[in-house]
Amino acid sequence: MAKNIYFKPYLLLEKFPQVRPLDVLPVALDFMEVDQVILEDKKYRIVSLLCGKQVVNLPCGQHHFVLHVRGNSMNQATPEPIDNGDYVILREQNTAESGDIVAVEIVGVDDRATLKRFKIESGKIFLVPESADLEFKKPMYLNHIFTKLDVDIYIRGVAVAVLKPV
């Protein structure tokens, strides 16, 4: 089980006069650190999904979003299992590296995102579940191998952290 990590989402900014042009960003003085959040009146600890990273940074210039997990297809994910009911913080982007955990939209299959390990082998794209559930022991959509992004599959984000109940 991973230990608590620190989450650095908010910059503490220098004071600046109101006459400063709006397109000039203030200088960051420090970061706020949090290791827990409250969602729907429940406490969650923040655990990094990026191998070797203890701190989850959410830079101001990047967009992030949170998905509520429904299902068990990633309950054996590494470095931290993603269980039914957890929340996942994702960096909004439309590309991924092989091995990333991604939220993807699959045209004609579902109107919601699915969370899976993204793998590229011999030019083919696989969405791989990591689950103890026998239903997920083979790569999902085995009969539908993707050969190109932006045709039938759209990456909506890469997972950076999971929120686990305290």
Distance (Å, whole) CA 26 – CA 163: 30
Active site (annotated) includes residue 122: no
Q: What pLDDT is attached to residue 17?
A: 53
Q: What pLDDT is attached to residue 14?
A: 52
Catalytic residue (choose from 48, 73, 131, 164): 73
User: In the block, which residue shows the tokens 């993603």?
Assistant: 82
- Report in angstroms the alpha-carbon separations of 4 from 17, 46, 136, 158: 38, 7, 29, 21
Cβ-Cβ contacts under 8 Å for 132 (sequence gap 6 or more): 72, 75, 76
pTM over cut 0.95: no
Q: How many helices (H) and strands (E) does the chain have?
A: 0, 12
User: Tens-of-pLDDT digits for all 166 residues of the chain?
Assistant: 444 444 444 545 555 555 555 555 556 666 777 888 888 889 999 999 998 888 888 877 788 999 999 999 999 999 999 999 999 999 999 999 999 999 998 877 666 788 999 988 888 888 888 988 887 776 555 545 676 665 678 899 999 999 999 9
61-70 in b/e form (b: 16+ CB < 10 A) is: eeeeeebebe
Q: What pLDDT is attached to residue 61?
A: 75
Q: What pLDDT is attached to residue 48?
A: 93
Q: What pLDDT is attached to residue 133?
A: 87
User: In the block, which residue shows the tokens 């990590």?
Assistant: 5
Q: What pLDDT is attached to residue 136?
A: 78
Catalytic residue (choose from 42, 43, 116, 137): 116
**Closest by Cα among 60, 166, 73, 54 to 112:** 73
Q: What pLDDT is attached to residue 2?
A: 45
Active site (annotated) includes residue 116: yes
**Closest by Cα among 80, 89, 102, 4 to 39:** 89
